Every structure is written in C-alpha cells, then in structure tokens.
C-alpha cells in the first residue's frame, strides 16, 4: 500500500529484511504451546477474526496517519488527536454496553491505577507517538515491520529477564527477526 499510495519503493535489501523479519515473527508466534483453556472452537475463531480486524485497523491507521504526516504535520499533535478520538469512542462503547461504572471501579482499585497509568504512558502515549514519528520518517512497510516485533521482544524478555526456557523455534525465529531488522538498518 505504501508503494501504491505514496510511491514508496523498497530496495531488494529492504524487502529481504522485511521478509526475514516477518518470517521470524511468524515462526515465534506459531510456536506450538496449545491453546489456552476456553479458547476452543467458536471462541478461538472469534479471537482470530478480531485479531484480523485489528490488523486491518492498524494498516488503515498507518495509511491515514501517513497522509497527514507527509505534509509536515506534527507526530505529537497527531498522537494527541488520535488519543482523544480513541478515548471518546471507547467511553461511548463502554456507556453503550453498560460497562462505564464497572470500568471506573476497576480503574480505582488499589494498585491497579498506577499500573494502568504506566501502561497507558508506555503504550498509547509513548508507543503511538514513536510509531507516528516512524511512519513520518520511514517507508510504511519498514515502520510496520518494526512495529510487529513485540512477540519477538517478549521471547527475549522471557528468556533473558525471567530466565524461563525458550524453545529452539523461538530462538531461531528471534534470530531471523533480528537479522531482518539488521538488514533494514544496514541499508
């Protein structure tokens, strides 16, 4: 879509880096650990469909943001606007579903508020702002590939920080993804 909409052209090295990175990510997320309890049949299919919808939403997000950002609009301002719109929509959904009070009670529970604040700062604030800077300054394909790395980074966290054993498939996938990223940075 970056090529079609923004005339972004990737070099063979960049395409190889993206392919290697996505291949590594796929290898990591396809690890056979079994499905969590309760995610059988229809529930699993619903989860997959919502995940696909989220992926389509992310693509639409990057493409529409790129239109504003290529004309020099501030990535920080774009993040503020996107966050404001998201808050209004999400609270509207919570109210429509009758979950607003339940959400407020959950957020005010002891020890929950500070973790929610920290998570909101790191993800929706800092993470989204940095993703807007990435889309503003790099090809959409490269930026979106780098933004797809959380499963791989979690494998590193699990193995190095938590000292949990990780399988060979996870190690190979992580090395592939980091190799793909290295190709992108070496260009």
pLDDT at 36 over 70: no
Least confident of 43-52, 103-112, 132-141: 103-112
Q: How sure is the predictor about 90, in pLDDT bands with cuts at 50, 70 and 90?
A: very high
Q: 41's torsion region: left (phi>0), alpha (psi -120 to 50) or beta?
A: left
Q: How far apart are CA 18 and CA 24, in angstroms?
A: 10
Mean pLDDT over 21-34 rounds to 77
What does residue 33 show for φ and ψ, rounded to 5 degrees?
-115, -5
* Most confident range, picked from 12-21, 43-52, 150-159: 12-21
Q: How sure is the predictor about 82, in pLDDT bands with cuts at 50, 70 and 90?
A: confident
In sign, the C-alpha dihedral spanning 78, 126, 90, 51 is: positive
What does residue 7 show for φ and ψ, rounded to 5 degrees?
55, 30
Are 171 and 27 contacting, i.e. CB atoms less than 8 angstroms apart? Answer: no
Q: How far apart are CA 36 and CA 42, in angstroms?
A: 14
- pLDDT score recorded for residue 37: 46
């Amino acid at each position: 879509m970056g090529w079609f909409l923004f005339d972004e052209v990737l070099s063979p090295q960049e395409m190889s880096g993206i392919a290697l990175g996505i291949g590594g990510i796929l290898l990591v997320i396809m690890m056979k650990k079994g499905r969590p309890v309760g995610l059988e049949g229809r529930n699993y299919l619903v989860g997959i469909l919502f995940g696909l919808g989220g992926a389509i939403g992310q693509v639409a997000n990057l493409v529409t943001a790129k239109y504003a950002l290529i004309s020099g609009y501030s990535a920080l301002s774009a993040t503020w606007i996107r966050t404001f719109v998201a808050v209004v929509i999400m609270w509207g959904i919570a109210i429509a579903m009758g979950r607003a009070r339940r959400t407020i009670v959950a957020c005010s529970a002891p020890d929950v508020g500070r973790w929610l604040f920290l998570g909101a700062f790191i993800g929706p604030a800092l993470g989204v702002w940095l993703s807007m800077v990435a889309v503003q300054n790099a090809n959409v394909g490269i930026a979106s590939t780098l933004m797809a790395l959380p499963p791989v980074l979690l494998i590193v966290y699990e193995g190095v920080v938590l000292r949990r054993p990780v399988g060979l498939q996870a190690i190979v996938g992580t090395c592939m993804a980091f190799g793909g990223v290295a190709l992108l940075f070496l260009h």
